[in-house]
Amino acid sequence: MQILSTPDAQSLAADLPPFLEIDRVSKIYPTPKGDAVVLDDISLTVNEGEFICVIGHSGCGKSTLLDMVSGFREPTRGEVRLQGKRVTRPGPDRMVVFQNYSLLPWKTAYENVYLAVNAVYPDKSKAEKTEIVRKHLTMVGLDEAANKKPGQLSGGMKQRVSIARALAIYPQVLVLDEPFGALDAITKEELQEELLKIWGQHTVTVLMITHDIDEALFLADRIVMMTNGPAANIGEIMEVPFSRPRDRAQMMEDPHYYTLRNQALDFLYGRFALADVE
């Protein structure tokens, strides 16, 4: 997040459009039974460098919403703007990591990342591209596995390759759609920590969908909680106050953590959820 301290910087910023704006966006799918309103009039402004998590029940429209940021789907009404420019299609300024890795199975980890870098930066020299690929594989701890193909990698390693591939393009926005949903708890925690470290090093704004409230509380600056569909909207936005760098154990000792956790569970599941966790 930007911290503006001088009057000059403030007046300069006043002339700039917000970094990322989801502006009165609705998504309606035509179906044989008539129009299905999935998202109804959603607005959200995201600051540069922010880490946003989106939570909500299955099918409420989280992927649909972030796909409109990535440019894979178009809003029926409203628009998404990145630095004032309307998003109409996918672009290297917005990279996506999905739950299912989407790596080319016949290419090594190194080649998967190299192909993406080469596609976006064809004019860079081979040495520069190699350097970018190596740097990002190192960043996610995959030096040793660079020459392995996806079939020889664990789920966590495959997801590391996907993250390295997305970041090697130097996007402004990283969209993560349940990236750790298929991983075991320990691998998931490791990757969350790596993701935070990388986010601290790269200037990247993150929008991440998760079903895991603890994950959202550990990672996010703000948690966007969506109402149930049809015609889903943003129900509440929770500010996560814990200072960074975050220490999971320390954070979980903070009584405030459980207040926020219960608040989120209460929003999602109603008061019965509280009985389950207490």
- The rounded distance, in Å, linking the Cα atoms of 95 and 236 is 26
Residue 53 lies near ligand ATP (rule: CB under 6 A): no
**Does residue 183 sit in helix, strand or coil?**
coil
Residue 33 lies near ligand ATP (rule: CB under 6 A): no
- Is 38 in contact with 61 (CB distance < 8 Å)? yes
Per the structure block, which two tokens stand in for 236? 């509440």
Diameter of the chain measured on Cα atoms: 59
Binding ligand ATP (rule: CB under 6 A), the pick from 21, 50, 63, 206 is 63
- Is 135 in contact with 113 (CB distance < 8 Å)? no
Q: How far is the CB of 252 from Mg ion (least distance, A)?
A: 27
Residues within the interface to Mg ion (CB under 5 A): 63
Residue number with CB closer to ligand ATP (55 or 113): 55
Q: Write down the residue that tokens 């946003």 correspond to.
A: 52
- The rounded distance, in Å, linking the Cα atoms of 178 and 212 is 9
Closest to 155 in 3D by CA, of 184, 198, 185, 124? 184
Of Mg ion, ligand ATP, none, which one does residue 29 interact with (CB within 5 to 8 Å by kind)?
ligand ATP
Per the structure block, which two tokens stand in for 276? 């389950």
Q: How far is the CB of 226 from ligand ATP (least distance, A)?
A: 7
Binding track, positions 204-243, relative to ligand ATP; x by CB under 6 A:
-------------------------x--------------
Q: How far is the CB of 208 from ligand ATP (least distance, A)?
A: 12
Q: How far is the CB of 240 from Mg ion (least distance, A)?
A: 22
Residue 25 lies near ligand ATP (rule: CB under 6 A): no
Q: Which residues bind ligand ATP (CB under 6 A)?
A: 29, 36, 38, 56, 58-64, 229
